[in-house]
Structures are given as structure tokens and as C-alpha cells.
Copies of this chain bind each other. A is one copy, B any other.
Amino acid sequence: MKVLIVHAHPEARSFNGALTATAVRRLAAQGHQVRVSDLYAMGWNAVLATDEFAGFAQGDYFNPAHAQEQAYSTGTVSADVAREQHKVAEADLVIFQFPVWWFSLPAILKGWVDRVLSRGFAYAAGRKYDTGLLKGKRAMLSLTTGTASTLYTANGIDGDLHHILWPIHNGILAYTGFTVLPPFAAWMPAQVTDEQREHYLERYAQHLAQLDELEPLFFHPRHDYDQHQQLKPGVVARSGVQWNPRAGQSFEASAAAFKQH
């Protein structure tokens, strides 16, 4: 298996760094090929703008998605984006490693999504969700938080983590066709003991060792929708979160209060 880790933390010695190092070691030991896109180290340009489109002339009207589609179809994608798209195209599994900043991705990682998962490469007209262009690949979030797991529950002040991650899981990963594996969360690693941090790394190694046994998150298949892209009568809407004990093993016990919703 070929694995791409898209890594987004500005400090190499951070716990995010330790998680990625663990993943590289563990996956290599299992015989997988692993590549890391370390966005801060690469000086990744986070901003989708006209400057990356060679075909764009001063005064042209800039529609980002159209520009992406045209660049992709004419083979004029900028070199930095093309390199990342090549890595994604080769990968069987893409892992996103990041600290949760403002209940979401750090801007540098959002900018990787904005620019790399372009219209033409990752999705197109009529090619989204289970016909997305990255169909057949798997993706997974591995994240760290600044607060405790108990706060990220339905009754906790920050709200259910699965609810918070839904726009990413559904709107980025499932949207482009990825099969979405349950996320791995290391809760406020900056404020726990060395033993707890070691424990997180062990659990992450276990999580990676059992990827094939993890139940992917649930998303309604296309045939659950009618021609207006509405769930058909009788199909009960449920979110990408299908709570099950196996997936639950990736979370600390204190997060067991997560609810299906």
C-alpha cells in the first residue's frame, strides 16, 4: 500500500511530529511505502489565486474552479500543485495530520485542499461523492486538540467532535470519493503526562495496524438520493458518523459519550 501523509504543523518537535514519525515507522514496518508532504517545511502556498494559472491573462475574469478545470485538462497545472496531485493519485491512503485550530484545519492545510483537490482532478460535473474522482482511495484524519475529550461531546462545551469534523469528512473527503476511515484523536497532548503521550503513540500505532478492520464512516450511497439529490422517501437521514465500538477504540474512553446523531 502507498500512503501519503499530509502534515501541517509549524514545529517539527510537536506532538503532531511524533504522530507522523510513528506513522512513517509503523507503516514502513508493515511493508507500506510512505511519503510525507510536510506543508510548513515545504513552504506551501496556501492561497488559491490567479498566479498559479499560466493561462490566465490580466483582465480575465477569474473563476477559480473553472481555471482549475482548464489547467488540469490542458496540462498546465502549476508545478507545486501537480506534484501533490501526483502523490495523491499514487496513494491508496491519504492521512491528514494536523492540530485542530478553530474547530477546523490550519489555513496551510485548507490551502492544500483548496489548490490540490481541484475541479478536474478530484471532482467534476456529476463526479462527486460516490462517483468522485478519488474513488477507491481511503483517507483518514489524525488530529490533536487543545482541550480535553470530555469537552468534545454532545453535552460538552465544544460540542461533539464528529459533528465538528462533519464538513471535512463529508464535504472534502467523501465529496471527492474517498472511503473515510474513522479519525484518530490525541487529546490536548501539550497538557498531559509523558506517559499519556506515549500511550497516544501506542494507540495510534494500533490504529494504523488495524486499518483494514476499521469500519469506514457511513455516507448515503447515490441510490439513496432521487434525481433532485434529495434522500428518497423512506430513507432516514443519518450523518457520516456511525458510532460503533470498533471505531470507538480510537478515541479515549472519556470520549465514549459521543453519540450517533
Binding site for B on A (CB under 8 A): 10-11, 13-14, 40, 44, 46-50, 61-65, 101-108, 110-111, 113-114, 117, 129, 146, 150-151, 153-159, 163-164, 166-168, 170-172, 175, 190, 220, 225, 228-231, 237, 239, 261
Q: Select one of B13, B102, B239 contacting A172, CB under 8 A.
A: B102
- CB-defined contacts of A157 to chain B, threshold 8 Å: 129, 220, 225, 229-230
- CB-defined contacts of A150 to chain B, threshold 8 Å: 228-230
Check A237 against B155 for contact (C-beta < 8 Å).
Answer: yes
Q: Which residue of the partner chain B has the closest CB to A257?
A: B230
Known: A172-B102, A228-B150, A229-B157. Is A61-B13 also a contact (CB below 8 A)?
yes
Check B107 against A114 for contact (C-beta < 8 Å).
Answer: yes
Known: A62-B10, A157-B129. Is A103-B230 also a contact (CB below 8 A)?
no
Known: A11-B62, A102-B113, A104-B171. Is A163-B164 also a contact (CB below 8 A)?
no
Check B167 against A103 for contact (C-beta < 8 Å).
Answer: yes
In whole angstroms, how far apart are the Cα atoms of A162 and B110 in the complex?
A: 20
- CB-defined contacts of A171 to chain B, threshold 8 Å: 102-104, 158-159, 164
Q: Select one of B13, B104, B111 contacting A46, CB under 8 A.
A: B111
In whole angstroms, how far apart are the Cα atoms of A29 and B105 in the complex?
A: 38
Known: A114-B106, A167-B164, A171-B164. Is A46-B46 also a contact (CB below 8 A)?
yes
Q: Which residue of the partner chain B has the closest CB to A119?
A: B146
In whole angstroms, how far apart are the Cα atoms of A151 and B239 in the complex?
A: 15
- CB-defined contacts of A114 to chain B, threshold 8 Å: 101-102, 106-107
- CB-defined contacts of A167 to chain B, threshold 8 Å: 102-104, 164, 167
In whole angstroms, how far apart are the Cα atoms of A138 and B151 in the complex?
A: 25
Check B63 against A190 for contact (C-beta < 8 Å).
Answer: yes
In whole angstroms, how far apart are the Cα atoms of A216 and B190 in the complex?
A: 35
Check B108 against A107 for contact (C-beta < 8 Å).
Answer: yes
Q: Select one of B103, B110, B153 contacting A107, CB under 8 A.
A: B110
